[in-house]
Structure 1
């Protein structure tokens, strides 16, 4: 990687836990860390997904694992099936922060404000108490599309993807119990993973990011209810984006800083903001098996605001139509079926209940799209294939690795199967998507926008 700029190194002097020699050495080392987090509703055993690799646990994440080498995720059908999410290990500490700051006794309404590409959203969804739901937001439209695709792979009915500016959330005053802001930052904590970012670093950009972070927080915090939890994080080492930002928060918002309990063997560095002594936590790649990261937690003070009601724009699916969809779902699946613009949506009860209010936002994806009902059949959607509520008894075809990659590239398939009609394409028992088997051909319904563009096979 390029040499670290001296101007950047100078800004690190005096930071809590900073060891100049060790920090520079780890950035000159060719070693790179690869970690993943399992989708617990689809996979429980990491060895079933990576039988050829050595794996070790990420100590602060229940489904997080380090991989001994980096496989080709593009050529792994299980990745496309949503079996796991490739996520940087330090950022998985969010799970531990949630465990220590939120109550598991009651369902929560959560917001991941700066969510793309989706790593923290998938983590939050898996960590929330039963009956909760998550609004996963991204302001930049192309990144919101990527976020929606990744959450479709994750497959749950309790997530709504929105494409809004943070100021739009002020319409939902006091609505959320939990707000996670992994703020856009100058990115110095990811220099090892993204060497190109080294050349883009400047102190002016650090200050620009700090101002942007302040605006984002000021715009969105009215939607966090009193008593709710704010978790703020960056992948920057800069004081201006970390400790000094915590002081800015406590100057301008009614917040109480929350300490976290750390295990000594984690080697996470506890820090405090210079004025208000707000608690923060720094991750250095020479101390932890991960990249640079910063996180802090707060509780909002003040009086609770009565919840607002909204008018439902989605309509409940008529009973006779709902009965046509039920055979596609797991027995007893706890979902509400809604109809929107001709599409059947499967929403968790919590999402369905608050959809009238959430409709004030620009919704990119709500729950799981089951498909379109015609006079004859349900034309199933790709989201249904990857969902955690789909029936296990639907017709399916187990593919070889070669055929699975043909399918994921949206190429022609020759299956030689006696099945007819809609069938799930599977790899190692995991659903990849739909095909329609006709007497003389197989129609591949894998989404064009999600197909693999690379040719070839994975290295063995």
Structure 2
């Protein structure tokens, strides 16, 4: 790989005798990986692969974006070193968690796996185009407890003061750790760009730290090797925010201590972690865990109003569908946005200053005298507990994701069914006679080709 000259000079100086092995790693192939979704029935072919030793739910290997496992949300493709970030955060059930720079959603879905549908997951992306991708991945993974926002950090910090148990800042960075996977990242790299990124990271952290509750934690990560964005940024936090301290991170499988000498020499910096491609299977990352001292918390203002209460007719339509098809009416905090029904997280502060991209789990659409369930609800449903399910085979699934209707050998009772293939939820279909009407979203349809 033709690395930038300034990059080579810099890391020859920093790495010394380790530099040749480091540079040689850029000419090796990237290591693929994926995480399985713990809310889904296990797919043995996925869990038979070698496990990523430091990442719960993680495995080495490729995943096709046109596979059943991917479409149903049973798996999320993620580079192995990136899994170390979510594994370091490892939120507990019931916690309030913020993923501040979240698109495309790999770390958000990893956090969701730990929360298991409990607590609150606020996932935010400042870029309008990228937040759409984030929402699509959150939906595909079947996350029930997420609020998706489209805001800058300085817009969020006044809304959520001292609010979160865990805040994840996977900061925009110079991307040096992705050169091997994405050589195009070298096109905009320069020494000046590294410094610009470090300054932007300071601005983001200034706001992010305000949202960590006393006793809570902030997990900071980058996919760059640059000390300016890694150890030096953490040294800046320790110097300027005395109520935060670094927490040791468990390191295994080639993950090493951060390097204090690349900053101000503070030995506390060793508690952070570095992932180098010549030392482990994966690309490059830096991860640190900051914890805030115990103390008094500020209270957020007001209470969120995320939509309109349901009318009596809407409540009846939803209750009939939920009882007959889902077999449950467990969703409680329900609102409508125009004709769309959402289950929204409880106990949120006033969000009128926020750009809410998606207020919660999309349940469906109210139409004239009927309710049409959403694709998001299908992927958030557990076939093992859903009342109306219909098993389809691989050929029928291929027709389904292509947007085609298909016929059944025998006609079940007319109505809505959660379609499943290999025990995975793939969408809601409506059975009329021997035909299953296709409601797979038009923008997601694709053709499946034989290998």
Report the CA distance shift for 1:130/1:406 in structure 2 as closer, same or farther (over 3 A).
closer
Distance 2:116 2:375 in 1: 27
Per the alignment, in what secondary structure is the counterpart of residue 319 of structure 2?
helix
Q: Deviations over 1:214-234 (max 9, x none)?
A: 222223332222332111100
Number of the residue aligned with 1:38: 36
Deviation at 1:363, TM superposition (A): 1.6
Contact 1:132 1:158 in 2 (8 A): yes
Q: Are 2:123 and 1:136 aligned? A: yes
Deviation at 1:113, TM superposition (A): 0.4
TM-score (norm 1): 0.86
Q: Are 2:75 and 1:75 aligned? A: no
Q: Are 2:93 and 1:94 aligned? A: no
Number of the residue aligned with 2:289: 297
Distance 1:418 1:440 in 2: 5
* Structure 2 unaligned residues grouped into runs of 5+: none
Question: How many residue pairs are counted as aligned between the two chains?
Answer: 439
Report the CA distance shift for 1:262/1:174 in structure 2 as closer, same or farther (over 3 A).
closer
Report the CA distance shift for 1:214/1:267 in structure 2 as closer, same or farther (over 3 A).
closer
Deviation at 1:5, TM superposition (A): 1.9
Number of the residue aligned with 1:12: 11
Deviation at 1:422, TM superposition (A): 2.9
Report the CA distance shift for 1:286/1:46 in structure 2 as closer, same or farther (over 3 A).
farther
Contact 1:280 1:296 in 2 (8 A): yes
Number of the residue aligned with 2:396: 403
Contact 2:326 2:388 in 1 (8 A): no
Report the CA distance shift for 1:370/1:216 in structure 2 as closer, same or farther (over 3 A).
same
Contact 1:226 1:303 in 2 (8 A): yes
Q: Deviations over 1:398-433 (max 9, x none)?
A: 132x43233223245455552444333332121212
CA RMSD in angstroms comes to 2.7
Deviation at 1:258, TM superposition (A): 2.1
Deviation at 1:315, TM superposition (A): 4.4
Per the alignment, in what secondary structure is the counterpart of residue 35 of structure 2?
strand
Number of the residue aligned with 2:449: 457
Report the CA distance shift for 1:231/1:372 in structure 2 as closer, same or farther (over 3 A).
same
Deviation at 1:458, TM superposition (A): 3.9
Contact 1:12 1:237 in 2 (8 A): no
Q: Are 2:198 and 1:210 aligned? A: yes
Deviation at 1:186, TM superposition (A): 1.0
Deviation at 1:23, TM superposition (A): 1.4
Number of the residue aligned with 1:145: 132
Q: Are 2:271 and 1:274 aligned? A: no
Contact 2:53 2:253 in 1 (8 A): no
Per the alignment, in what secondary structure is the counterpart of residue 457 of structure 1?
coil
Q: 1:436 aligns with which of 427, 430, 434?
A: 430
Deviation at 1:180, TM superposition (A): 0.4
Number of the residue aligned with 1:109: 96
Contact 1:16 1:269 in 2 (8 A): no
Report the CA distance shift for 1:133/1:200 in structure 2 as closer, same or farther (over 3 A).
same
Matches within 5 A, 1:132-211: 132-172=119-159, 173-211=161-199
Deviation at 1:322, TM superposition (A): 4.9
Deviation at 1:205, TM superposition (A): 1.6
Contact 2:274 2:286 in 1 (8 A): yes
Deviation at 1:367, TM superposition (A): 2.7
TM-score (norm 2): 0.88
Deviation at 1:125, TM superposition (A): 1.5
Q: Deviations over 1:178-202 (max 9, x none)?
A: 1100011111101121122233322
Distance 1:184 1:330 in 2: 43
Q: 2:319 aligns with which of 297, 318, 323?
A: 323
